[in-house]
Amino acid sequence: MRILVVRLSSLGDVVHAIPGVAALRRGYPDARIDWLVDNRYSELVDLVTVVDRRIGISRRHWKNIPEVVRELRNNRYDVTIDLQGLIKSSFLARMSGAPRVIGFGDSDLRESFAGAFYTDNPQIEWTGHVVEKNLALISKCFKIDRSFWEFPIADVVSESVNAVLNGLGPDKPGSFVVLNIGAAWPSKTWIPERFGDLARFIDRRYGMHSVVTWGTGELSLAEQVVQHSEGSAVLSPIATIRDLVAIIRQASIVVSADTGPLQIAAALKTPIVGIYGPTDPRRNGPWDQKDVIVSHLDRCECRNNRLGSSGVVIRRCLQPVPCMAGISLDEVSQAITDRLG
């Protein structure tokens, strides 16, 4: 059997799709399983050991879409599974040429018209995490074991980890904390100065330096955190996804808002303190019961005024005081104490 999985983006959602792909591999060990993904996240899919081939597509104007469609059709897939539920993802799933194209039912689609491209879009039952949602869809159409979540992500060697450890200085142990200070949407970010204060607390309480990770457009925020930490934090080198996986795998704990690096930490079983405002940790949060969440979801006026939904939140908060700004240093410090024990 030849199976194509379509999950284009974003980083955290690509992580959430891995257990479904792993379940397919367990159920069909001899199948060919390929993954169509946005080129920005190809590095992560390359690390998923149960995938036979990763096929990347360009985000910019879909420049390589004719080439991608030709490749998909030449692979002669028996079935394509769209785990994204957008018009663009369902369209590409249909263009794969597979006689069977599976996607979510109407009530679980991100864009309602996406269902027009599916041959099978069963209604599923799920009440919790988006990982469960993916597994529920796959189990409707395939004989798989969905009883546990597996993240087969390869271990990697990274020079960035060595640079991080060297940057901690001779007076610090090899253990360190990752502070991931950004998020794709401004409404999900915490205040940089509080991250700096948090680094000082961690240094004073646990004798560990913090490593500040950052993404595109976040360097100035990361520098603010390091400056405000008064020597308790160091700046992570510019990191690829492979580097990020390696750094997070070795961290003692990761402190992050709802964004891709937090999901990577959850997949790697690195301890987590999650900082949540407008998004629901029951849907997007870490799944280890020992991890600690600081959430102000119940105080988010954008959510309460129905400007967002369970799956889509407001990218920029429209309130005078964003809910993330209401999360105090004491709350996050206590969460770290609770998680580290």
Q: Are 54 and 35 in contact (CB under 8 A)?
A: yes
Confidence of residue 170 (pLDDT cuts 50, 70, 90): low
Confidence of residue 306 (pLDDT cuts 50, 70, 90): very low
Confidence of residue 318 (pLDDT cuts 50, 70, 90): low
Confidence of residue 314 (pLDDT cuts 50, 70, 90): low
Domain 159-340 - what CATH class? alpha beta
The residue with greater pLDDT, 122 or 313, is: 122
- Model pLDDT, residue 251: 95
d(CA 335, CA 276): 13
- Mean pLDDT value across residues 143-166: 89
Residue-wise pLDDT for 30-59, tens only, equals 999 999 999 999 999 999 999 999 999 997
The residue with greater pLDDT, 160 or 255, is: 255
Tell me if domain 2-141 and domain 159-340 are identical in fold.
yes
Residue-wise pLDDT for 278-292, tens only, equals 899 999 999 999 999
Return mean pLDDT, the chain: 91
d(CA 60, CA 63): 6
Question: Is residue 194 pLDDT above 90, yes or no?
Answer: yes
Question: Is residue 295 pLDDT above 80, yes or no?
Answer: yes
d(CA 272, CA 254): 5
Name the 3-class secondary structure at 182.
coil
- Mean pLDDT value across residues 181-205: 94
Name the 3-class secondary structure at 136.
helix
Delimit the domains of the chain by residue range: 2-141, 159-340
Name the 3-class secondary structure at 143.
coil
d(CA 18, CA 146): 12
Q: State the Cα torsion 180-187-125-151 to the nearest 10°.
A: -10
Q: Based on the number of CB atoms within 10 Å of its own CB, is 235 exposed (0-12), middle (13-18) or buried (19 or more)?
A: middle
Per CATH, the homologous superfamily of domain 2-141 is Glycogen Phosphorylase B; (3.40.50.2000)
The residue with greater pLDDT, 317 or 6, is: 6
Confidence of residue 173 (pLDDT cuts 50, 70, 90): low
Which of 14-18, 158-162, 186-190 is most confident?
14-18
Question: Is residue 312 pLDDT above 70, yes or no?
Answer: no
- Mean pLDDT value across residues 70-90: 97
Residue-wise pLDDT for 266-279, tens only, equals 999 999 999 999 89
